């Protein structure tokens, strides 16, 4: 692949991931779980892809920005919520590079992603005057559930899909 083809490939993959993030967030919102103090964003499962390639940071972050355009918290959530995603994914990427195997890497996504929800809890406290610990507990629980399911799915999917290159693995 030429450098231009590789760049285009990365852009297309990022756009697909962003679109999936938006669709899964809107699906969560159909059940009232996409935004707010009690949320279970199915789209957060895509955070697990970051352990394979840093290009996923941009796709997931762009998806978060686009999904947050419809957030009831407005521009603050578009900026702050998306910044939290970018920060979390960057930390996950660098930590996971130092871990020995895929299970440890995916475990780091679950732990770091859940802990980093304190930034979303803080946003909700500032904007809605919600109690911090209760809010943190509820958003962290939703994030934990989504990331855990995502880690399991991505682990098994990685046996058939090479997420490093975003290609289907050939059966031997």
Name, in order, each residue with C-beta under 8 angstroms of 31's C-beta and a sequence gap of 6 or more: 40
Q: Give the count of domains, the chain.
A: 1
Mean of pLDDT values over 157-162? 95
pLDDT of residue 172: 59
Q: Reply yes or no on whether the pLDDT at 165 is more than 90.
A: no
- Phi-psi region for residue 148, left (φ > 0), alpha (ψ -120 to 50) or beta? alpha
Give residue 27's domain range. 3-168
pLDDT band at 168 (very low <50, low <70, confident <90, very high): confident
CATH assignment of the domain containing 11: 1.10.1760
According to the per-residue pLDDT averaged within each range, which of 6-10, 35-39, 144-148 is highest?
144-148
What mean pLDDT value characterizes the chain?
Answer: 95
pLDDT (tens digit, 9 = 90+) per residue, 48-99? 999 999 999 999 999 999 999 999 899 999 999 999 999 999 999 999 999 9
Mean of pLDDT values over 123-132? 96
pLDDT band at 105 (very low <50, low <70, confident <90, very high): very high
Q: 112-142 burial, b for 16+ CB within 10 Å, e for fewer?
A: bbbebbebbbebbbeeeebeeeebbebbbeb
């Amino acid at each position: 692949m030429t450098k231009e083809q590789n760049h285009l490939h990365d852009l297309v993959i990022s756009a697909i991931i962003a679109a999936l993030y938006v669709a899964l967030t809107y699906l969560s919102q159909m059940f009232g779980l996409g935004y707010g103090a009690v949320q279970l964003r199915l789209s957060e499962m895509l955070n697990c892809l970051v352990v394979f390639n840093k290009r996923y940071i941009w796709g997931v972050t762009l998806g978060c920005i686009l999904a947050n355009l419809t957030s009831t918290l407005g521009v603050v959530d578009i900026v702050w919520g998306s910044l939290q995603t970018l920060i979390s994914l960057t930390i996950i990427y660098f930590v996971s590079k130092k871990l020995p195997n895929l299970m440890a890497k995916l475990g780091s996504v679950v732990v770091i992603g859940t802990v980093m929800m304190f930034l979303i809890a803080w946003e909700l406290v500032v904007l809605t005057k919600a109690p911090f610990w209760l809010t943190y507990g509820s958003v962290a629980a939703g994030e934990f559930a989504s990331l855990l399911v995502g880690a399991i799915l991505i682990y098994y999917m990685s046996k058939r899909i090479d997420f490093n290159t975003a290609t289907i693995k050939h059966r031997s």
